[in-house]
Structure 1
Amino acid sequence: MIETIFNIIALAQGTGSSNPFSGPYLLYTLLYIVFIGSFVLMFFPGFQQKSQVWFLSRDVEQKLTMIENYLKDSKSVSEKLLKDKGFPDPKSFIDRVIDRFVIDPVGVEPTDIINRMKLLIRSNEDTVRDMITRIQPNIDPVSRSEIEVSTEVMSALNLIYKVIRHYLLMAKKLNSIMIMYQLQMVAPIYVKMAEAYDKAQKVFLQGIPVGDGLGPLVASRFLMKTDNKWTASKDTVAGALEFEQRRLVVVKAEGPMATVGTPGEAVQNVIEKEGGKVTRIITVDAALKLEGEDTGSIAEGMGVAMGDPGPEKIAIERVAVKYNIPIDAVIVKMNMEEAITEMRKEVYQAADKVVEYVKNLILERTKPGDTVVLVGVGNTAGIAQ
């Protein structure tokens, strides 16, 4: 079969020369050598694995390039933002914050680990905030929050890029097909994640509410009906109003800045202020949906609905245990991209449904004269109170 193919090629060349070094015969010889050489190499130890690693690495490298492009775009957006806000040397600031990290507290001795974690997280946030205000002392809170979010997105993209690159180079160095297979499987997921972060950065800088703002949006629907508001904790506000002969205290992050506030500490302060006389705590938050579930679908359960590393969530749990207060959770489902980019129509419409849902919960599970704490958990970008 192969000889027939070579003969056809030779005839197509239109020559009848018998010279072994003439066009068709030379082509025949070269192709024959390549074919035999490839066939023989297949039996050499490691050749097959090396060739597979090479082909797989090409695919992973394409994905890594896409992530790198998102990182470069994020850096350019951050640099432009800093220039617009009057930073004299944006690149220097970016270089300082892009690789910032927080080391987890010692877990071998878990005593007081939450307070240690809280200290580290708060200290890191305060340090970045101080860096911004030291360079630009008169910056307004909204602009400051935009820079904070922009640096967080940039740092996340930088970490994704570096981790994928690390395992790619490691797989090549060790000629490990197993590492390369795993990398090829997860790389598309991280590309999708990087794309979502890239979109999120632009949305936050426009001050547009995001999907994760579902909780604060629900809370704001109640807070708009009262003038009795106060600062409950750092970047977090609370307000009290009367609802169906019940006292309702609503907690949310202070908007319209892009922040999640400190809702755990705020709830703790509110309940202590009420003398522990709280009948129920209701938490409302966005939650990641499983594939196949509808965006904007509502679910109800027990516990603190909050995507927190620990300090804020446990603060609510501890004060609830102290005063024996049941905790209800109401969530609205969405995927990661929907959570960190502009709020979808389905999520916005779900907010009205959740308001009615919460009202029904209060009427069903409390009685006149009771005090209820409602917590709208999430990023309150573009959502005031």
Structure 2
Amino acid sequence: MAKFEALAQVNVSLAEHQYPIIICSNGLQNSELLKQLVPTTQVLIVSNPTIATWYLSTVQAAFQAIQCDVVLIDDGEEHKNQRSLNKIYDVLIDKKHHRDTTLIALGGGVIGDITGFAAATYQRGVSFLQIPTTLLAQVDASVGGKTAINYAQGKNIIGSFYQPKAVLIDINTLRTLPEREFKAGLAEIVKYALLTGGPFLKRLTEVAEEGLTASHPQLPQLIEDCCRIKAQFVESDEKEKGKRALLNLGHTFAHALEAYTNYQQWLHGEAVAIGLYCAAQLSYHLNLIDVALVVQVEQMLNSLGLPHKIPRSIDLYKLKELMSLDKKIKNNHLRFVVIKNPGNCYLDDQITEDCLDKTLISAVEGE
């Protein structure tokens, strides 16, 4: 058996709940660790067919002595819906899972979101463990307790804040991640770099120029740094009443782009990459930053192999309509996270129609 190696632990301390983010290699093969994290007599593992092929039997091996059921949800954001949620409920009820059961989310952000929401709502709340297997989920989606499903009119419209018992990040799962999905996860790291600035932004810029791959020696440290940054935001504002909303940098644009294409054209991280470029353009049109930072964001996204332009085929008027469904709307004002400089971002609810139009036009391919 491959040797387990603990790399780091980030503790998330909230008013009513504390939990660890354990970063390691070969953690899925460590049955004793899994049993410590799931001290119950019933387990339901939720995964997708792709991840199940690689890791399901390994995780199941830790729970041979107890009731261990499985639900597989098809790959893709379009399956983060009520139908898939009902599939989880059906197994929980049919297999007579009690209130002391534990749900395990084994997969990427989609699996983590829907499993967390099922855990939050089944019998008014049961325990769940996050085992994120994609880079995007490891650095962002699995941390902080956001759970949700999508609805026809928008992403994550129905959801709740519900914290996991723990997050187990096994960096070895990134070795089986398709290159496109790995690159998509890098967009969230860029987001953290813009939110924090300073040495983190400098280091990411240097690593991006070298070529950031799943085997890069700096990757585990980048993952740990992202988890620590997000933990700090979550600890200060668990329910996203203020500061935590800054983590949505680029996401108002991204969610609208995803909904526009019915989640078919871009992975979430790819849409976030375009959204980050749009956020930089918006900040420029608000005279908050100079064009040099817009160029820096563009170059970094290019270095990481990520898209950043809105295709010409997108109807910008319809895109703006989809933005009007954004969850950050307050007092009927659409709020955008804007950049004053790296490490200094804020929510702006006074964006004019003219400024938004100029931003979108400047972000279109060929402009």
Tell me the TM-score range normalised by the shorter chain: under 0.3
Larger radius of gyration: 1
Higher relative contact order (CA 8 A, sep 6+): 1
Using structure 2 for the length normalisation, give the TM-score.
0.25
